[in-house]
Chains A and B, each alone.
Chain A
Amino acid sequence: MEPSLASYLALSGILFTIGAVGVTFKRNAIGMFMCIELMLNAVNLTFVAFSRYYGDVTGQLFVFMVMSVAAAEAAVGLGIIIAFFRNRVSVDVDDASLMRD
């Protein structure tokens, strides 16, 4: 016997919760970035679980798309972090308040 669909979805929900809480608690731009990656992975897990339990390949194809988007996000997001560090010598998101002040 193999684990039920519900247990995979529960694992995915727990990982998503941890990622979302991490995004709100962390003040470091790279830490927030890593928590977003964790949330993307939680969503990927639901895709693969449904793909398995409904015998349809579409879910796994969309996991592939999500991974491509994550790679694009890594390139652009880390570029923004480096550009921000060059201007402010910090990666703390509290320092990114130019529009607010």
Chain B
Amino acid sequence: MFSTVLFYLFAGLAIAAAISTVYHRNPLYSAISLVGAFLALSAIYITLAAPFIAAVQVLVYAGAIMVLVVFVILLLNMDDEPRRNRLKYLYAFGLGLAVLLTGQTFYIYSAVVRAPNVASDQTQTVGKTLSIGRGMYTEYLLPVEIVGVLLLMAVIGAVILVRRLNQPELELVLKEELKDERLEKGLLN
């Protein structure tokens, strides 16, 4: 009973925060609403007896990723998104998508409600850090390694993407500056 109340409370919060994320035109308001949605989802993970995932959700999503996003918003100094009348067909497409996905959600809900119910085992300790760590480093070692390589690629890719000049250009600029300095000295002498 108590967990049902918590579920509906945090589900309402998550949906409200998600709608607010899409509604606001100022990207900073969107980002802060999204942090609210992530925190509400973290609480819902706790009602699902998954404390490790809830902690990682707060650390990685609400912490690391959203700090990065807010930092980029501040760095680019963005104003409110201007209203544009272009690309009208996208609005029709978005509304069609919304109707389709909502219908699908209702279909899944009714199908799962009608399906024979598997009573969840309350004594399970699936969400504990111990069982997750054991699964991660025995049965699912290869995916963990692949994720490690993926993160390395992302780090290298991000550094290369945001680098201002590549190395030969930088050397060229330095040489030009040195030449200018020598010319100035020569003129002075």
Contacts and interface: CB of A to CB of B under 8 A. Distances in A.
- Among B37, B127, B136, chain A packs the most CB atoms within 10 A around the CB of B37
A12 to B, nearest CB: 8
Contact of A56 (B38, B101, B109, B126): B126
B173 interface: no
A78 B157 CA distance: 11
Contact of B7 (A3, A14, A18, A44): A3
Contact of B48 (A48, A68, A78): A48
Contacts of A15: 14-15, 18, 37
A17 B65 contact: no
Q: Which bracket fits the contact residues of B?
A: 35 or more
Contacts of B157: 75-76, 79
B126 A55 contact: yes
Contacts of A72: 150-151, 153-154
Contact of B124 (A7, A25, A55, A71): A55
Interface of A: 1-11, 13-22, 24-28, 30-31, 33-35, 37-38, 41, 44-45, 48-49, 51-58, 60-61, 63-65, 67-76, 78-83, 85-86, 91-92, 94
12 contacts: A2-B7, A3-B4, A8-B7, A24-B97, A25-B90, A34-B21, A41-B61, A45-B44, A57-B131, A63-B53, A65-B147, A79-B161
